[in-house]
């Protein structure tokens, strides 16, 4: 090896390179924080080559994206004066350029995790460097957890370095046991950050196109614009087409492009020309596009969000983090003074989240759980994760892997699981290929699996049969590489004997990957319901929209309008044959909302899909009562015919709950709906519809919620009526915050103690009325009323109602319901 560290260029990170080497030599671990443009990605690995502790071991540099990995390997090879694949090489899916001479391997994060799992001792590897760790991909988090486990248990001589431009140093340092934290100087060139707020309601591509045109006219140099996704990039490109002279090229940069197209996008513009690169977050880190001095940032990114309840990952457009905004702006100052234009108000920057949420908190964890099982760990607490996997998503992943046959009931890896994990495919697709191999369909399944994992292969049609056909006939280098990968995957599977035949349809294959996403047309052409209960839609012009049944491999969007992105048609016979054990035939009661009645039917179902049904006689008993309760939950408690007695009983018990607390039960709508099985269902065993409910059964049910020992106290603590001194009984109203008694004032004459309930502890609110039953006073202190404002009331009332008694001292007067005798 002729390379010498003395030949390295001087960049901002150069002054801390000896500190990094010393930290790794003395502590085995280190954290490096270096702003964009510092040169950490290329200089640190090359500098460490000549460290004594490396001996002849390789240095592994992890990059979050293929584009960044190729660019980093190319730049380091250039600095070393060699071709890629010699001293410096790279490894990634579908592309591998290393040799026996390679000592620095740039790998994508998923490749590294597989390296550790296949060789727990990491033989021949001296150091692992995690670059751009702030992106917090699931593979990076898992890879770091594995590396720490290997270093602690098997390889104490392994060096681990975590690097990032925008890093939460304190948290990462704590995870690593607080090793030396090294901070590098920032970029060499200033960046002028400007803001151009997007008008309310304006599409991001319209704002972006306008700002690009303006800055292109006012400034020199190439432009890098960040947009959330491919669709916005293509629409922005349409708006810019023909708006510039022949010296300006408009170039897209996103994940679906081929390697050749991506490399062309980051290549410097030829002399005398300018470039406008329209990119997703793929250009955010680890690459330098020479000549770019202007950044236009939409402030948006598209992140995957996994929904454990449905097992589906959807893409969501969200605001970038402050760390990402800084990363993007830093692209402008790599090679000279730059300009960063942010398409939001300056004051909004402070409201951005500090960092992009870690993928481990919002991802499908089935691959992680499978790899952990292979590592011998069932509980995430057994590994050092910066953020532990969310329990619901972890449990959902375990359930899926059990369904696919990869895990047994104890969570251990099965033989099928070992074969599934050995394939470089997501668990669902790997399970599909393993199942297909047993039927002599390994190659067809592997082609389909690669098609689904490599964006853009076979076009963008949602019809996977069409895409698979196009993929097979595609003669591009990318398609050729993908087919070679499929062939290698198929060759690694056990060969079936005597079963090869016509290639199976994509639907028949996919059913073993997505049994929970078999879909049945419901509600018209293009509208489907999936076995997991979620809906999905296809454009009515698509051929698949007329299919009776599909297997859905990919869909996106929120629950209201989910859009099917990839699916294949399947027949009912295939579903019944391949998913025989999952199909259930049962008799069930259900509530029919339209008729407000309980119905019974015999159904054949697959998950949430009803494949066949026939009516049964109207039911009764516990199952009918439960279905009726489901109707109450659906429609609300207001549909129940609470009579006067039942309503008053509910109010009285509810009052005691509010006043005295437990064990008096809560009578609110939410509380009663939550306990329908306790007070409603047992008293509706013979009821078949909401209109058949008798109010008395509701009273009986409510009383059943009151502990038996308290039932006899109800009348004493919350009586239904108050008996006035006249002997008359008046209802007490408990439906408000306090119990209320409305009564004519003359009936309380002679009463020296304020009326109360709750064994004398809770005063009644007295609404005192005139002889005409009109309110004259509200009081919670009757004796105080007699000695206080009664005088004013008496003065006003005696002239208005002269035939009724208005004594000066009502506390000593006789109560009455009558008028005064004539002549008095």
Which pLDDT score, from 0 to 100, does residue 268 have? Answer: 84
- pLDDT tens digits, one per residue of 41-80: 999 999 999 999 999 999 999 998 888 898 899 999 999 9
Which pLDDT score, from 0 to 100, does residue 235 have? Answer: 94
Measured CA to CA, the distance from residue 139 to residue 145 in angstroms comes to: 10
- pLDDT tens digits, one per residue of 553-576: 988 776 556 889 999 999 998 998
From the centroid of its chain, how far is CA 464? Answer: 26
Which pLDDT score, from 0 to 100, does residue 497 have? Answer: 60
The position carrying tokens 């790899």 is 371
Residue 309 has pLDDT above 70, yes or no: no
- pLDDT tens digits, one per residue of 436-446: 988 889 999 99
- pLDDT tens digits, one per residue of 174-189: 999 999 999 988 666 8
What's the rounded mean pLDDT across residues 342-349? 93
The torsion angles phi and psi of 454, rounded to 5 degrees, stand at -110, 105
Determine what percent of the chain is predicted with pLDDT higher than 70.
97
- pLDDT tens digits, one per residue of 752-800: 999 999 888 889 999 999 998 999 999 999 999 999 999 999 988 988 9
Residue 335 has pLDDT above 80, yes or no: no
Which pLDDT score, from 0 to 100, does residue 460 have? Answer: 85
Which pLDDT score, from 0 to 100, does residue 608 have? Answer: 87
Terminal CA-CA length for the chain: 128
Cβ contact 184:38 at 8 Å? yes
The torsion angles phi and psi of 123, rounded to 5 degrees, stand at -60, 135
- The top-scoring range by mean pLDDT among 21-25, 309-313, 589-593 is 21-25
pTM of the model: 0.71
- pLDDT tens digits, one per residue of 621-639: 888 999 999 999 999 999 9
Computed over every residue of the chain, the mean pLDDT equals 90
C-alpha distances in Å from residue 809, one per residue of 577, 767, 792, 814, 820: 93, 20, 13, 10, 16
Which pLDDT score, from 0 to 100, does residue 144 have? Answer: 96
Cβ contact 47:14 at 8 Å? no
Measured CA to CA, the distance from residue 329 to residue 166 in angstroms comes to: 12
**Strand (E) or helix (H) holding 528:** strand 527-530
- pLDDT tens digits, one per residue of 501-544: 678 899 999 999 999 899 999 888 999 999 988 889 999 999 99
- Which segments within 351-390 are labelled E, that is strand? none
- pLDDT tens digits, one per residue of 240-291: 998 998 899 999 988 777 778 888 888 888 888 999 999 998 877 666 777 8
Cβ contact 9:17 at 8 Å? no
Full 3-state SS string of 148-177: HHHHHHCCCCCEEEEEECCCCHHHHHHHCC
What's the rounded mean pLDDT across residues 603-627? 88
Which pLDDT score, from 0 to 100, does residue 209 have? Answer: 95
- Helix axis angle for 366-375 and 427-438, nearest 10°, is 70
What's the rounded mean pLDDT across residues 91-119? 90
Which pLDDT score, from 0 to 100, does residue 544 have? Answer: 94
Residue 592 has pLDDT above 60, yes or no: yes
Which pLDDT score, from 0 to 100, does residue 311 have? Answer: 65
Give the pair of three-digit tokens for residue 794.
């008496």
Starting at the edge strand found earlier in the chain, the sheet holding 181-183 runs 95-97, 88-92, 104-108, 58-63, 125-130, 159-164, 29-33, 181-183
Which pLDDT score, from 0 to 100, does residue 187 have? Answer: 64
Measured CA to CA, the distance from residue 752 to residue 764 in angstroms comes to: 14
Give the pair of three-digit tokens for residue 100.
């026996």
Residue 93 has pLDDT above 80, yes or no: no
Which pLDDT score, from 0 to 100, does residue 527 have? Answer: 93
> What structural domains and CATH numbers belong to the chain?
5-183 (3.40.50.300), 191-360 (3.40.50.300), 423-579 (no CATH), 583-718 (no CATH), 719-812 (no CATH)
């Amino acid at each position: 090896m002729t390379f010498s560290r003395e030949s390295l260029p001087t960049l901002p990170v150069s002054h801390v390179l000896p500190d990094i080497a010393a930290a790794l030599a003395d502590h085995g671990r280190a954290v490096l924080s270096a702003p964009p443009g510092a040169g950490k990605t290329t200089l640190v690995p090359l500098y460490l080559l000549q460290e004594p502790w490396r001996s002849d071991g390789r240095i592994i540099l992890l990059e979050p994206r293929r584009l960044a990995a190729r660019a980093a390997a190319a730049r380091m090879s250039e600095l070393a004066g060699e071709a890629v694949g010699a001293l410096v090489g790279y490894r990634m899916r579908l592309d591998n350029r290393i040799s026996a001479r390679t000592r620095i391997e740039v790998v994508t994060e998923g490749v590294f995790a597989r390296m550790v799992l296949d060789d727990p001792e990491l033989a021949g590897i001296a150091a692992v460097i995690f670059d751009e760790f702030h992106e917090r991909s699931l593979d990076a988090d898992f890879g770091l957890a594995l590396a720490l486990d290997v270093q602690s248990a098997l390889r104490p001589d392994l060096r681990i370095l975590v690097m990032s431009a925008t890093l939460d140093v304190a948290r990462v340092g704590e995870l690593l046991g607080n090793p030396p934290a090294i901070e590098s100087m920032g970029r060499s060139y200033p960046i002028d950050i400007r803001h151009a707020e997007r008008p309310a309601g304006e599409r991001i591509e319209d704002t972006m196109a306008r700002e690009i045109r303006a800055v292109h006219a006012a400034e020199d140099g190439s432009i890098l614009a960040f947009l959330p996704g491919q669709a916005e990039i293509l629409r922005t490109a349409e708006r810019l087409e023909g708006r510039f002279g022949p010296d300006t090229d408009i170039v897209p940069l996103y994940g679906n492009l081929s390697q050749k197209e991506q490399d062309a996008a980051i290549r410097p513009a030829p002399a005398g020309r300018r470039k406008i690169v329209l990119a997703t977050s793929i250009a955010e880190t680890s690459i330098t596009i020479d000549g770019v001095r202007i950044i236009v940032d939409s402030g948006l990114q598209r992140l995957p969000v996994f929904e454990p309840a449905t097992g589906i990952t959807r893409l969501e457009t969200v605001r970038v983090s402050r760390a990402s905004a800084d990363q993007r702006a830093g692209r402008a100052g790599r090679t000279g003074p730059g300009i960063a234009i942010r398409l939001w108000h300056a004051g909004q920057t402070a409201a951005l989240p500090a960092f992009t949420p870690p993928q481990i908190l919002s991802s499908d964890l089935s691959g992680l759980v499978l790899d952990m099982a292979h590592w011998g760990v069932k509980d995430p607490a057994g590994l050092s994760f910066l953020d532990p996997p969310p329990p619901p998503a972890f449990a959902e992943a375990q359930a899926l892997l059990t369904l696919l046959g990869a895990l047994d009931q104890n969570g251990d890896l099965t033989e099928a699981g070992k074969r599934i994990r050995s394939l470089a495919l997501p668990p669902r697709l790997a399970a599909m290929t393993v199942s297909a191999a047993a039927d002599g369909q390994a190659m067809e399944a592997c082609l389909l699996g690669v098609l689904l994992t490599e964006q853009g292969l076979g076009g963008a049609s949602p019809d996977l049969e069409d895409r698979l056909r196009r993929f097979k006939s595609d003669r591009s280098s990318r398609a050729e590489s993908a087919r070679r990968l499929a062939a290698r995957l198929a060759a690694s599977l056990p060969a079936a004997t005597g079963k090869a035949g016509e290639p199976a349809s994509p639907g028949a294959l996919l059913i073993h990957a997505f049994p929970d996403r078999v879909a049945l047309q419901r509600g018209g052409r293009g509208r489907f319901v999936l076995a997991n209960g979620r809906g999905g839609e296809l454009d009515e012009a698509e051929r698949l929209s007329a299919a009776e049944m599909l297997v859905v491999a990919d869909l996106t969007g929120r629950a209201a309008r989910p859009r099917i992105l990839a699916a294949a048609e399947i027949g009912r016979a295939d579903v019944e044959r391949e998913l025989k054990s999952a199909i259930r035939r049962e008799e069930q009661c259900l509530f029919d909302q339209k008729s407000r009645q309980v119905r019974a039917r015999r159904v054949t179902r697959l998950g949430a899909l009803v494949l066949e049904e026939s009516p049964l006689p109207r039911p009764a008993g516990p199952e009918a009562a439960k279905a009726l309760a489901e109707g109450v939950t659906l429609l609300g408690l207001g549909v129940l015919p609470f009579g006067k007695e039942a309503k008053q009983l509910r109010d009285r018990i509810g009052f005691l709950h509010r006043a005295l607390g437990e064990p008096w039960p809560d009578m609110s709508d939410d509380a009663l709906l939550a306990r329908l099985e306790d007070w409603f269902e047992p008293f509706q065993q013979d009821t078949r519809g909401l209109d058949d409910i008798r109010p008395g059964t509701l009273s009986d049910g409510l009383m059943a919620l009151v502990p038996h020992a308290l039932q006899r106290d109800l009348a004493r603590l919350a009586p239904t009526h108050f008996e006035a001194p006249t002997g008359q009984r008046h209802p007490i109203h408990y439906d408000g915050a306090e119990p209320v008694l409305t009564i004519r004032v003359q009936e309380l004459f002679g009463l020296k103690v304020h009326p109360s309930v709750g064994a004398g502890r809770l005063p009644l609110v007295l609404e005192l009325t005139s002889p005409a039953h009109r309110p004259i006073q509200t009081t919670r202190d009757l004796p105080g009323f007699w000695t206080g404002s009664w005088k004013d009331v008496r003065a006003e009332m005696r002239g208005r109602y002269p035939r009724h008694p208005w004594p000066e001292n009502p506390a000593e007067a006789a109560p009455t319901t009558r008028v005064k005798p004539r002549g008095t």
